Structures are given as C-alpha cells and as structure tokens.
Amino acid sequence: MDQNNSKSITRRIIAGLVFGFLVFLVVILVGDLQQVSSQVIHFKWGYFPLVLLLTLFNYVLRFFKWHFYLGQVGVKDYPLLKSARLFLAGFPLAVTPGKVGEALKGVWLEKETGLPISKGISVVLAERISDGLGVLILSTLGVIAYPRYWPAFAIVLGGLIILIVIIQIRPAALWFLDLASKLPILKKISSGLREFYEGSYALFKPKALMVAVSLGTISWLGEGIGLYYVLRGLDLPGGWETLSIAVFVLAFSTVIGAVSALPGGLGAAEASIAGMLSLLLGLGSGTAAAATLLIRFATLWFAVALGLAVWGFSRKFLFESKRGS
C-alpha cells in the first residue's frame, strides 16, 4: 500500500474517532452529566474485567470464523499469528465513514497471500452478513416479546436472506457476469466482479454458512452477557429477565448500528441501547446512558484500541507493498 492510501485511511479513522467523541458527549448530555457521572463513579468495577473477557470471547470466536472463511476461499495453511494480526488490525477500520475502510483487509490479504482483492472483500462481506444473522437469531425472542421491533427485524432478515439466495442462484449470477464482461461501462471491473462472486458463492454455501452463523451467534451472545454484567455493576437485579433483555438489547442495537452504515454504528447503536434499556427495564436516563457508555467502551472502543495497538507494532507487516511480513 502506498503512503497516500495509508494517510487517507488514517484520516478516515481520525474522522471516526472525532465522531465517536461527539457521540460520547451527546450521550452524556442527554443522560445528564451529573447523573451519568454519579452512576459511573458508583459502578462496581469488579464486574468490568469480566465484561472485557466476554468481549474477548466474542473476538476469539469471530477470529476462528475469519480464519475458517480464508480456507473456504482457497487460503490454505496461512499462519494463525499472521491471520490474527490481519483480523485485529481490521477493527479500527470499522469506524471509517460507511465502514469503507474495511475493504483494506482485502488489500492486506492480496499482499500477504496473493488472494485477489475482490475475493478478499467477499470475506469481509461474509463476516458482516454472518454476524448480522447471528445477532438476528439472538434478537428473535425479544422481537416476539416486543412486537414493536418486528418491522425492522423483518426488513433486515429478509434483505440478508434474499442476498444469500441470489448469490447461490449460480446460473443467473454467471449470466449477469458474462453480460457485464460485454458492457463497456462494466467491462473494466468484470474480472473483479467475478472474483467477488466466486468468493461469495463459496462462503454462502449451506455448510459454510451454518458454521459461520453458529460461531457468530455464540460470539455475540458473549457481548450480550457482557451488557448483563454492566447492568449488574449498576445495581440492577440479576436473573433471567435482566439477562434476556440485555442480550436482546445488545444484539438488536448491533443490527441497528450496522444498518445505519454510520462508522462503527456510532450514534445509532448508542441511541438504541439507551432507548431500549429505558423502555424495557425502566431505567432512568442517567443509568441508561452510563450503561451505554460502559458497554460501548468495553466492546467497540476496546476493539479499536486493540487494532491500533496491532498497527503500532505491525506497520511493516500491514503497510509495506512487498509481500510477506
């Protein structure tokens, strides 16, 4: 990757970080600075390491899904350490506007393994879709219990299923790709489209999809339980009701954040978490805001910090144009 592209990605990440700071301020002001501060000060911080461990549990399972996907698109015997570095280095890219920076993972894969960039981007897309299906599965019981969320749930689930079905209708897709290769406006990118499709087709075969969605569901359950322990740290009573609502809130807010296309779901996810906690658990605005900030620090911003640490120690590995580390 050349220096200009590296600087461009860095600028996008900085823009995402600034936006995140603004969202942080808005959440505090809406929740009332004094109330939020009081809730955070009196938070039982002994729970927080457990929340971080549950977040790491999420990352570990998602990494194995990432590595599994690489094998599905033809990247065999790729060292786990290098694979993990690429996976973690992708975390800060989630806060780029529209998450367009995540396409950089395709560039890194091409540099490291020779995998065509378009096929690498199909891995990134498959990660997002399998995560989406996983959190939708976790949201199911909550949506049944709270029908007001059904329209958004149905739209997202329907869209993902339609996309997967279309990708698996191979004759129709190949016909379109053949047509694209003959059209002047698409001819230049037709080979990239074909590589992207071939990667997507392999990744969304039933067996691969089942493995990925299973890993995604279990991994995101970890973060849902993490929100439960945040609530316990804010003195909410334990029990299945609080746990089930916490898992539902975390899962459904992740869906809302992803659909928003905002960097890292910033703004949309926070509003969803705080709003649903207030509505479903009857929390005051200060408590809901504190819970929102704590879980986002333990998930999104923890991930960004880990990724930036990898960038700091692996700039040669990530940004040199020469293949290999």
Q: What is the mean pLDDT of residues 179-208?
A: 72
The predicted model gives 147-153 an average pLDDT of 76
249 found inside a domain: yes
Statement: residue 266 has pLDDT above 90 = no
In a domain, 92, yes or no: yes
Contact 138, 224 (CB under 8 A): yes
In this predicted structure, the answer to whether residue 276 has a pLDDT above a threshold of 60 is yes
Give me the mean pLDDT over the 253-267 stretch. 82
Evaluate whether residue 65 is within a structural domain.
Answer: yes
Check residue 98 and give its pLDDT.
58
Domain membership flag for residue 309? yes
In a domain, 269, yes or no: yes
The stretch 77-98 carries a mean pLDDT of 87
pLDDT given for residue 101 in this prediction: 67
Question: How high is the pLDDT of residue 58?
Answer: 96
Structural domain contains residue 324: no
| Radius of gyration of the CA atoms of the chain, in A | 20
- Higher-scoring residue by pLDDT: 147, 267: 267
* 151 pLDDT tier (thresholds 50, 70, 90): confident
Domain membership flag for residue 301: yes
Question: What's the mean pLDDT in 71-82?
Answer: 89
Q: What is the mean pLDDT of the chain?
A: 84
Structure confidence at residue 323 as a pLDDT band (50, 70, 90): very low
- Which one is predicted more confidently, 177 or 45? 45
Q: How many domains does the chain have?
A: 1
Tell me the pLDDT band of 325, cut-offs 50, 70 and 90: very low
**Would you call 98 exposed, middle or buried from its count of C-beta atoms within 10 A (0-12, 13-18, 19+)?**
exposed
Tell me: pLDDT of 182 over 80. Answer: no
What is the domain range of residue 25? 3-319
Say if 109 falls within a structural domain: yes
Q: What was the pLDDT predicted at 203? A: 82
